[in-house]
């Protein structure tokens, strides 16, 4: 899909269509760094977005990922009332990082060259200790460890926002946000999936989990009494809520046809394999919580200092989503289209 898009259109055409912005590249042969920083928009403030370090099939796929993720961050900040623009960095993970300190220091120096227009943070394939290494070379980094004076891992806030999003979906479809007995199928029991499962269990929800790692599945069974399925079968689970918390692009036409859940509400970024899938979801009568709205908790936590305000905003994801679900029904528009429209209006208004 990604390569297909890049082959049809030139990079600048794609970037212009997505209303970018800046795209920066850096290589550092000594440490093996191959980094891309995408800055989508800075109308609301400096661009903020995580640093992803994963393997890619091609450079085109990495660039396209950076573009989509940075655009998502712009929309996420806008719709969450955060005074930041959207950016993202993608590090094309080498087979082996020989010296992790040198690698992330080289990336930190790259971030610093942008003079604060881009602020980096933890994301897939990076940890708070990597953020500490970046902080040796730049102050434009958040989610450093508590030891380094940072606020640590934002995932529990992301998970809490996802929980509030699930409650909004249940409220919209059943008229009550009581999760007792509600069956949630979680794809991916990593940082977000784990904290989400913990909160869901406390509220009496029933869980099914799938993960690449058997030890994660075992932990969910032990701690939360979760049932498990093979990862290919998670879409067929007879449940109320499907919560994608693993990776992007999981919602394809084929998957939408298989789902038994009436609600899709999970923490993964870029869940729709392509924007048009939103329409297919709406046609099937499934309630979809747009990814960048429901998973904004981590961004909210790293952007603000006042804990009370952070919790107010994270809990506010419930109302934002209820509003989007209502507009989606009233205007007969897919929920992702409604969310994009609201976010775009906020960004354009700030120009």
177 three-class SS: coil
Tell the smallest beta-carbon distance from residue 180 to ligand NAD (Å): 25
Structure tokens belonging to residue 220: 């969910």
Assess 128 for contact with ligand NAD (CB under 6 A).
Answer: no
CA separation for the pair 70, 54 (Å, rounded): 16
CA distance 103 to 124: 16
CA nearest to 267, candidates 338, 344, 333, 184: 184
Identify the DSSP state of 141. B
> In the window 154-183, what residues touch ligand NAD (CB under 6 A)?
154-155, 158
| Residue 203 beta carbon to ligand NAD: minimum distance, rounded to whole angstroms | 20
Distances (CA, A) of 207 to 50, 158, 163, 164, 190: 29, 19, 13, 16, 15
Task: Give first-to-last CA distance, the chain, whole Å.
Answer: 33
Residue 228 binds to ligand NAD (criterion: CB under 6 A)? no
Verify binding: residue 187, ligand NAD, rule CB under 6 A: yes
Residues 18 to 47: which contact ligand NAD by CB under 6 A? none
Which residues contact residue 309 at a Cβ distance below 8 angstroms, ignoring those fewer than 6 apart?
A: none
Q: Is 193 an interacting residue with respect to ligand NAD (CB under 6 A)?
A: yes
Q: Where are the alpha helices (DSSP H) in the chain?
A: 2-8, 11-17, 59-79, 100-113, 128-135, 155-174, 191-202, 214-224, 253-258, 277-283, 291-294, 297-303, 307-315, 317-330, 335-349
Residue 237 lies near ligand NAD (rule: CB under 6 A): no
The smaller minimum CB distance to ligand NAD, of residues 232 and 330, is found at 232
Q: Does 89 bind ligand NAD (CB under 6 A)?
A: no
Q: Is 71 one of the binding residues for ligand NAD (CB under 6 A)?
A: no
**Residue number, 100 or 247, with CB nearest to ligand NAD:** 247
Specify the stretch interacting with ligand NAD by CB under 6 A; choose among 19-27, 60-68, 89-97, 191-199: 191-199
298 lines the binding site for ligand NAD (CB under 6 A):
yes
Tell me: does residue 124 bind ligand NAD (CB under 6 A).
yes
Best CA proximity match to 218, nearest among 194, 192, 254? 194
- One DSSP character per residue, 249-279 reads S-B-HHHHHH---SEE----SS-BSSTTHHH
Binding mask 255-284 for ligand NAD (x = CB under 6 A): ------------xxx---------------
By CB under 6 A, tell whether 191 contacts ligand NAD: yes
Q: What are the catalytic residues?
A: 88
Least gap, CB of 104 to ligand NAD (angstroms): 17
Least distance (Å) from ligand NAD to the CB of residue 188? 3
Say how many residues touch ligand NAD, by CB under 6 A: 26
Residues within the interface to ligand NAD (CB under 6 A): 124, 154-155, 158, 187-193, 210-213, 216, 231, 245-248, 267-269, 295, 298
């Amino acid at each position: 899909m990604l390569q297909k898009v890049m082959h049809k259109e030139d990079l600048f055409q794609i970037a212009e269509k997505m209303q970018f912005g800046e795209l920066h590249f850096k290589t550092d042969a000594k440490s093996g760094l191959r980094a891309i920083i995408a800055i989508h928009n800075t109308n609301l403030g400096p661009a903020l977005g995580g640093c992803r370090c994963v393997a890619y099939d091609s450079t085109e796929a990495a660039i396209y990922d950076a573009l989509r993720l940075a655009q998502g961050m712009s929309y996420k900040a806008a719709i969450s009332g955060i005074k930041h623009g959207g950016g993202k960095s993608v590090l094309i993970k080498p087979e082996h990082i020989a010296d992790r300190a040198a690698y992330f220091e080289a990336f930190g120096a790259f971030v610093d060259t942008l003079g604060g227009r881009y602020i980096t943070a933890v994301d897939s394939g990076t940890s708070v200790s990597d953020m500490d290494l970046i902080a040796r070379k730049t102050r434009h980094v958040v989610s450093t460890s508590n030891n380094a004076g940072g606020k640590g891992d934002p995932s529990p806030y992301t998970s809490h926002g996802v929980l509030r999003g699930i409650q909004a979906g249940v409220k919209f479809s059943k008229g009550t946000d009581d999760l007792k007995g509600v069956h949630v199928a979680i794809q991916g029991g990593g940082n977000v999936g784990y904290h989400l499962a913990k909160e869901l269990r406390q509220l009496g929800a029933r869980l099914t989990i799938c993960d690449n790692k058997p030890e994660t599945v075992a932990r969910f069974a032990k701690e939360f009494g979760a049932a498990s399925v093979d990862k290919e079968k998670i879409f067929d689970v007879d449940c109320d809520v499907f919560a994608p918390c693993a990776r992007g692009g999981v919602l394809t036409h084929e998957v939408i046809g298989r789902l038994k859940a009436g609600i899709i509400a999970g923490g993964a970024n870029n869940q729709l394999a392509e924007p048009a899938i939103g329409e297919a979801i709406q046609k099937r009568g499934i309630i979809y919580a747009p990814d960048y709205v429901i998973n904004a908790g981590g961004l909210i936590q790293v952007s603000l200092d006042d804990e009370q305000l952070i919790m107010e905003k994270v809990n506010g994801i419930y109302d934002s989503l209820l509003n989007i679900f209502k507009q989606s029904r009233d205007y007969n528009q897919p929920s992702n289209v409604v969310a994009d429209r609201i976010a775009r209006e906020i960004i354009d208004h700030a120009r």
